[in-house]
């Protein structure tokens, strides 16, 4: 379980928060990413978004191996920029069967093929929260990259948002961050 805690304290300074689609969440100045209990940081929290890392649903063996071969790890010292993008998909998406979702996600929208172009510059971790009680999103997506890859990341999100997959996104917040290291990183 991973908690993203927005408030007056955190290792990441929030540079921009943009409601791309649907209801916004309160604007805060800092974010902390915590595994397990949020403990001592709780009093400074304005909101907490929780998600779990999980098994892959869509990637084929071949895609999975390619991702593993190319991806970078989180916490790289030069990757001082990050994005937290919570996403909720529509009822229409969840009513599709798995093979229909895979066809939209990859065969037609090329999510993995596009994403692979940005590895290892962008390191990523996907968190699921649709099954967690009280959570407002289906996914919390987290990305880390160096300042020189800010423009590339911008191009990546623009490409993904123009896909058929994204027509099923009914809520999305784009939160951009810079690491300042006030608290321990992870
Ligand atoms: C850095 C390049 C990226 C790569 C390599 C990548 C790769 C992937 C892969 C492999 C999955 C599917 C995992 C599975 O099999 O279940 C996935 C899911 C997802 N990604 Fe990306 N991605 C990238 C960038 C992004 C960006 C920038 C966003 C948000 C703007 C995003 C949002 C999502 C969401 C919401 C899902 C869950 C989709 C679902 O299960 O319906 N990804 N990504």
The model's pLDDT over 96-152, given as tens digits with 9 standing for 90+, comes to 999 999 999 999 999 999 999 999 999 999 999 999 999 999 999 999 999 999 999
128 lines ligand 1 (CB under 6 A): no
**Given the DSSP bridges, would you call strands 45-51 and 2-7 parallel, antiparallel or unpaired?**
antiparallel
Q: Does the pLDDT of residue 77 top 80, yes or no? A: yes
Average pLDDT over residues 16-31: 97
Average pLDDT over residues 48-68: 97
Strands (E), the chain: 2-7, 12-21, 30-35, 45-51, 81-89, 123-128, 139-145, 169-179
From the CA of 123, how far away is ligand 1's center (Å)?
11
In the block, residue with structure tokens 């007056």: 8
pLDDT at 135 (0 to 100):
97
Q: Is 51 in contact with 135 (CB distance < 8 Å)?
A: yes
From the CA of 68, how far away is ligand 1's center (Å)?
14
Alpha carbons 143 and 74: distance in angstroms, whole number:
8
Average pLDDT over residues 158-172: 98
């Amino acid at each position: 379980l991973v908690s993203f805690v927005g408030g007056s304290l955190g290792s990441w300074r929030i540079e921009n928060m943009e409601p791309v689609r649907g209801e916004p969440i309160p604007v805060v100045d800092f974010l902390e990413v915590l595994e397990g209990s949020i403990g001592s940081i709780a009093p400074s929290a304005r909101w907490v978004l929780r998600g779990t890392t999980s098994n892959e649903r869509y990637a084929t063996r071949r895609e999975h191996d390619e991702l593993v071969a190319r991806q970078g790890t989180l916490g790289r010292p030069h990757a001082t920029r990050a994005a937290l993008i919570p996403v909720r998909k529509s009822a229409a998406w969840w009513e599709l069967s798995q093979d229909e979702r895979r066809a939209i996600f990859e065969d037609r929208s090329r999510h993995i093929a596009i994403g692979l172009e940005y590895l290892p510059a962008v390191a990523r971790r996907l968190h699921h929260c649709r099954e967690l009680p009280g959570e407002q999103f289906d996914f919390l997506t987290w990305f880390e990259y160096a300042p020189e890859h800010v423009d590339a990341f911008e191009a990546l999100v623009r490409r993904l948002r123009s896909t058929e997959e994204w027509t099923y996104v009914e809520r999305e917040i784009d939160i951009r961050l810079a690491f300042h290291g006030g608290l321990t990183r992870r």
